[in-house]
Amino acid sequence: MTTRLLPWLFVLVMAVGPLWLGDQYILYVLTSTGIFIIGAMSLNLLLGYTGQLSLGHIAFFGIGAYTSALLSLGFDLDLGGAEPFVLGPQPVWVAFLGGILVAALFGFLIGKLAFRVRGAYFVIVTISFAQVMRMVALNWVDLTEGPMALNNIPPLSVWLPWDGVIPLYRKEYNYLLVLAVAVVCFLVIQRLVQSRVGRALVALRENESLARSVGIDVTRYLVVATVIAAGMAGAAGGLYTHYIRIVDPDVFMFIYTVTMVIMVVTGGKGTLAGPIVGGLAFGVLPEVLREVARPEVQWIIYGVAMIVVVFFLPQGIVPAVKNWFAGRRKRVAATALGLRKETSA
C-alpha cells in the first residue's frame, strides 16, 4: 500500500513544494530539469527496456520542438511549385500535438531501421540522424531561420474556470504543466512495461533468440517502443520550445543526448524511477554547483560525481537502494529467526 502511495506523495511534494518556496530561479531550474526528465524517461523505454542504445535521441526532442514552434508560428514553404505552401499560425495545442506526431513518425522510421542495423551500427546511425537534423535546421533558412533561430514562439495556453483561456507566461503554470506531462508519461511507461507489451520489450533486451522462439514479433514491439519514446521526446521538445519561446539548431546538440543518457544510467536504466532520480540529481547539480564553484571546477565536480555513481553503483541509484532495502529486510528476518531458535533452545 505504501509503495503505491509513495509516487503520488512525491508528485504532491513536487507540485506544492516549489510553489510554496516561490523562488523563480528554483522554478526555472526544476522546469527545465523536468523537461529533460521527460526526455530521459522516454530514452529509458528504449535503452533500459528494449536494450537499444539510441544516441540520437535528442533528434526526436528537436523535431518536436521545431514542429510545434513552426505550426504555432505558421510558415510558408516554397516547394518549387507556382504557389508556395502557406500555413497560418495554428492554436498552440494543435501545434504541440503536431510536434508529438511528427516526432513519433520519425520514431517509426528509426524503429524500422533499428531492426535492420543493430549494435554499434545502430548507435552510429542514430548519432548521424541527430546531426543531419541539426544540419537541416541550420541550412533550411527559409523554414527554420537557421542560426538566427525561431523567435517569439507563443507559450502554451490553458483554460482555467476563473480566468478562461490564458497563455502560460508565468513560471508557476509552466512548471505545473511540465509536472503534469511528466506524470502522464510516467503512467504510460508504467502501464506499458508492466504488460504483455513490456515483457516483449524486455525479452528483446534479455535474449532475442529466445523471444523469437516463443513467438514474440520483436520487430513490431521495437517499433512500438520507438514510436512511443519518440512521441514523448517530441512532447518534451514541445514543452521546451513553448517555455523558452525560442528554438535554434543547437537544440540538436549531442551533449543533450549525453545528458539524458547520464540521467538514465545513473538513476538506473530499466527501472521506472531511475530517470527521475538520476534526472533530478544530474539536472539540479549543475545549478547548485554554479552557486558554489568556478565554472571549470563545476564541470570537474559534475564529471567526478557521475563517475563515482557509475563506478560504485553500476546498476544505478534506484536498484542500489532497492537492493539495500531488500538486504536489510532479509537480515532482519534472519535475526528474528535466530532469536526464535535461541529462545526455543
Partner 1 sequence: MSLALDTTDAPILEVREVAVHFSGLIAIASMSFAVPEGEIVSLIGPNGAGKTTAFNVITGFLKPTGGKVLFRGTDLTRLSSNRIAGLGVVRTFQRTSIFAGCTVFDNVLTGMHRQGRAETWGVLLRLASVRAETERMREAVAEILAFVGLSHRADELAGNLAYGEQRLLGIAIALAADPKLLLLDEPAAGLNPSETEAFMGVVQRIRDRGVTILLVEHDMRMVMTISDRVVVLNHGRIIAEGPPEVIRANPDVIQAYLGQGVKHAKG
Residue 17 or 327: the one with the smaller Cβ distance to partner 1 is: 327
**Residue 268 Cβ vs partner 1, minimum distance, rounded to whole Å:** 13
- Judged by the rule CB under 8 A, the positions of this chain that interact with partner 1 are 188, 191-192, 195-200, 202-203, 205-207, 209-218, 224, 228
Give whichever of 87 and 101 is closer to partner 1, judged by the CB atom. Answer: 101
- Find the shortest distance in angstroms from Cβ 269 to partner 1: 11
Query: SS in 3 state form for 3-72?
Result: HHHHHHHHHHHHHHHHHHHCCHHHHHHHHHHHHHHHHHHHHHHHHHHHCCCCCCCHHHHHHHHHHHHHHH
CB-wise, 138 or 320, nearer to partner 1? Answer: 320
Nearer to partner 1, 151 or 190 (CB): 190
Cell of 316: 544505478
Residue position matching grid coordinates 504543466:
177
**Shortest distance, position 218 Cβ to partner 1, whole Å:** 7
Q: Which is nearer to partner 1, 234 or 319 (CB)?
A: 319
Q: How far is the CB of 219 from partner 1 (least distance, A)?
A: 9
Buried b / exposed e over 264-273, threshold 16 CB at 10 Å, is bbbbbbbbbb
Contact 58, 130 (CB under 8 A): yes
CA-CA distance, 237 to 276, in Å (whole number)? 17
What whole-number distance in Å separates Cα of residue 274 and Cα of residue 270?
A: 7
Write down the least CB distance from residue 211 to partner 1, Å.
8
Contact (CB, 8 A) for 104 and 231: yes
The three three-digit cell numbers of residue 88, written as one number = 497560418
Q: C-beta of 49: minimal distance to partner 1 in Å? A: 11
Q: With respect to partner 1, which residue has the nearer C-beta, 202 or 306?
A: 202
